[in-house]
């Protein structure tokens, strides 16, 4: 892992942090053994890139977000129909003796008998088939606004998909490193148990020979019991994390996985959070979503205003009429009409729609302000967390060195009889805590790096590209 110097960071130059995430882990933490279902020194293991690509392809939340985007895309395509004519075929067979129907049907058939008694014309039979055409000519711009609203909704759904992918990728990275962290805990707890078991065996031999007190043996047995309890808790934490990780990947909770320590996951981000904030305000899906909400609210207000305007429609009809199920040459007919409709009073519903649209716009503007504040906090906190993780990693490394050296000295004195078993147990416990803190700091620094990319809104695109 390469981290540019503070001097470069002060110059606010965007640096590429090539996170050889687990190559450094091999030199600091790797052990050539297998814990649970994770193999640490085998080929064809799941890297962090594999896990992210699997989640992007199979995670249910991402799948649902993409389905929502596809639905919005089809809804936008449907708005094209608002500007095209609607054409339909119709057929009708009718009979009766109603004078009005008799008159119109027989006239349309071009077969009205002369000297017809319109009070009692008799019965008629009519077969009618034809085509209806309807076209909206003007609607106050509502159709255009509906198309723009649908387009904005599509962009909003795309932002939601990007937001979901960003969150899932972040969760995959956190759980990936958490699994390795839990594995470290299992390793350390297991070694502690093995060490204490051996010391307990030696202590029992010395106790049988009268070389140690019963209280010293009991203290060692209590510490061994605590170490076994810690081992069980570590294994449970490991299993729980594996289960959550499988759920993110869209796999069954009990599926076996094999994780690799060595992978390359490059992340690029500026040296200062102010520069990162500028990028976040452009890239974060949440900010894009908030802006689309404002756009939709403004269009909805225009649409509400447009209902005060008239609407103009064209209706055309061509049809054939016959009384004997045969089409005569002169029995075809057509009608065409342009109709205007203007609602002068609708019970104040239009005014209510306008007021609601104004409130919707106000809420959307406030949501943008809230989103900007949230993103500002996220970016700032991500940089602070990363700086804190680097400090803890440095301190943890030195603490491990000191704890190892202290345990070695105490062990020599204990075996020589100059230190008590209590002092030895304290040193052994301090060494294990230092190793646990070192493992946590090591992987927390990797998570903090991914949190910066997440706060900037670019985390998922790194692997998608």
- Asked which of 29-33, 208-212, 366-370, 451-455 is least confident by mean pLDDT, the reply is 29-33
Structure token pair of residue 114: 């002369």
> Quick one: DSSP state of residue 36?
T
Cα–Cα–Cα angle for 384, 390, 392, rounded to 5 degrees: 100
> What is residue 327's predicted lDDT score, i.e. its pLDDT?
59
SS percent in the chain: helix, strand, coil, step 5: 65, 15, 20
Q: Is the pLDDT of residue 237 over 50?
A: yes
> What is residue 59's predicted lDDT score, i.e. its pLDDT?
93
Q: Is the pLDDT of residue 34 over 80?
A: no
User: For the chain, what is the mean pLDDT?
Assistant: 83
Tally of residues, the chain? 465
Tell me the average pLDDT across 101-123: 85
Contacts of 284 (CB under 8 A, 6+ apart): 375, 455, 456, 457
Residue spans of the domains in the chain: they are: 6-81+142-308+349-464, 86-140+310-341
The two domains 6-81+142-308+349-464 and 86-140+310-341 share their CATH topology (first three levels equal): no
What are the backbone dihedrals phi and psi of residue 96, each rounded to the nearest 5 degrees, phi first? 165, 180
> What is residue 265's predicted lDDT score, i.e. its pLDDT?
59
Q: Is the pLDDT of residue 385 over 60?
A: yes
- Asked which of 10-24, 200-214, 242-256 is least confident by mean pLDDT, the reply is 10-24
Contacts of 149 (CB under 8 A, 6+ apart): 296, 299, 300, 303
Angle between helices 142-208 and 60-78 (to 10 degrees): 180
Read off the pLDDT band of 261 (50, 70, 90). Answer: confident
Q: Is the pLDDT of residue 35 over 50?
A: no
> What is residue 341's predicted lDDT score, i.e. its pLDDT?
92
Collapsing DSSP to helix, strand or coil, 118 comes out as coil
Contacts of 132 (CB under 8 A, 6+ apart): 87, 88, 89, 90, 315, 316, 317
Q: Is the pLDDT of residue 178 over 60?
A: yes
Q: If you write DSSP's letter for every residue of 194-230 in order, what string do you get?
A: HHHHHHHHHHHHHHHTT-S-HHHHHHHHHHHHHHHHH
Consecutive H or E run containing 377: helix 349-416
In CATH terms, the superfamily for domain 86-140+310-341 is: Outer membrane efflux proteins (OEP) (2.20.200.10)
In CATH terms, the superfamily for domain 6-81+142-308+349-464 is: Outer membrane efflux proteins (OEP) (1.20.1600.10)
Residues 79-92: pLDDT tens digits? 998 899 999 999 99
- Contact assessment for residue 46 and residue 307, using Cβ atoms and an 8 Å cutoff: no
> What is residue 144's predicted lDDT score, i.e. its pLDDT?
92
What are the backbone dihedrals phi and psi of residue 312, each rounded to the nearest 5 degrees, phi first? -125, 130
Q: Is the pLDDT of residue 18 over 70?
A: no
Read off the pLDDT band of 29 (50, 70, 90). Answer: very low
> What is residue 43's predicted lDDT score, i.e. its pLDDT?
54
Q: Is the pLDDT of residue 231 over 70?
A: yes
Residues 138-167: pLDDT tens digits? 988 999 999 999 999 999 999 999 999 999
Q: Is the pLDDT of residue 95 over 80?
A: yes
Consecutive H or E run containing 122: none
Read off the pLDDT band of 263 (50, 70, 90). Answer: low
Q: Is the pLDDT of residue 212 over 80?
A: no
> What is residue 15's predicted lDDT score, i.e. its pLDDT?
30
> What is residue 465's predicted lDDT score, i.e. its pLDDT?
61
> What is residue 28's predicted lDDT score, i.e. its pLDDT?
34
Tell me the average pLDDT across 239-245: 92
Q: Is the pLDDT of residue 419 over 50?
A: yes
Question: Around Cβ 449, how many Cβ atoms within 10 Å?
Answer: 24
Angle between helices 421-456 and 214-248 (to 10 degrees): 20
Q: Which CA distances in Å does 114 have to 80, 97, 320?
A: 51, 17, 22
Residue with tokens 């903090």: 448
Tell me the average pLDDT across 356-376: 96
Torsion angle, CA of 290/291/294/296, rounded to 10 degrees?
Answer: -100
> What is residue 325's predicted lDDT score, i.e. its pLDDT?
57
> Quick one: DSSP state of residue 270?
-
Cα–Cα distance for residue pair 54/258, rounded to 1 Å: 14
Tell me the average pLDDT across 379-406: 91
């Amino acid at each position: 892992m390469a981290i540019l110097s503070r001097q470069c960071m002060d110059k606010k130059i965007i640096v590429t942090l090539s996170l050889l995430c687990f190559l450094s882990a091999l030199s600091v933490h790797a052990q050539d053994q297998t814990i649970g279902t994770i193999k640490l020194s085998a080929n064809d293991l799941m890297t962090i890139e594999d896990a992210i690509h699997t989640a992007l392809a199979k995670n249910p939340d991402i799948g649902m977000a993409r389905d929502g985007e596809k639905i919005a895309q089809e809804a936008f395509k449907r708005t094209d129909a608002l500007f095209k004519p609607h054409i339909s075929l119709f057929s009708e067979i009718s009979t009766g003796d109603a004078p009005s129907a008799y008159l119109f049907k027989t006239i349309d058939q071009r077969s009205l008998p002369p000297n017809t008694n319109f009070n009692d014309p008799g019965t008629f039979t009519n077969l009618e088939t034809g085509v209806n055409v309807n076209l909206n000519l003007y609607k106050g711009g509502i159709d255009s606004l509906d198309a723009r609203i649908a387009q904005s909704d599509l962009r909003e759904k795309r932002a939601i998909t990007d937001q979901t992918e960003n969150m899932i990728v972040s969760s995959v990275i956190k759980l990936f490193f958490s699994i390795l962290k839990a594995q470290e805990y299992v390793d350390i707890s297991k070694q502690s148990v093995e060490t204490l078991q051996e010391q307990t065996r030696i202590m029992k031999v010395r106790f049988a020979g009268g070389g140690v007190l019963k209280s010293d043996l009991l203290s060692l047995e209590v510490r061994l019991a605590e170490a076994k309890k810690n081992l069980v808790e570590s294994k449970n934490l490991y299993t729980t994390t594996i289960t959550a990780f499988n759920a993110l990947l869209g796999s069954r909770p009990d599926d076996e996985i094999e994780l690799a320590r060595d992978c390359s996951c490059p992340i690029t981000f500026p040296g200062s959070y102010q520069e990162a904030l500028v990028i976040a305000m452009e890239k974060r899906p949440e900010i894009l979503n908030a802006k689309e909400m404002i756009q939709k609210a403004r269009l909805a207000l225009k649409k509400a205003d447009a209902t005060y305007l008239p609407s103009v429609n064209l209706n055309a009809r061509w049809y054939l009429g016959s009384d004997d199920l045969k089409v005569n040459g002169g029995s075809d007919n057509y009608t065409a009409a342009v109709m205007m409709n203007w609602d002068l009073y609708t019970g104040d519903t239009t005014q209510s729609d306008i007021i609601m649209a104004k409130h919707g716009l106000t809420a959307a503007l406030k949501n943008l302000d809230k989103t900007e504040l949230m993103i500002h906090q996220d970016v700032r906190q991500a940089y602070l967390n990363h700086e804190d993780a680097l400090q803890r990693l440095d301190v943890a490394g030195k603490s491990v060195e000191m704890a190892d050296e202290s345990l070695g000295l105490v062990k020599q004195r204990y075996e020589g009889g100059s230190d008590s078993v209590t002092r030895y147990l304290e040193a052994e416990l301090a060494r294990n805590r230092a190793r646990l803190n070192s493992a946590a700091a090591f992987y927390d620094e990797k998570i903090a790096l991914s949190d910066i990319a997440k706060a900037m809104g670019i985390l998922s695109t790194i692997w998608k590209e």
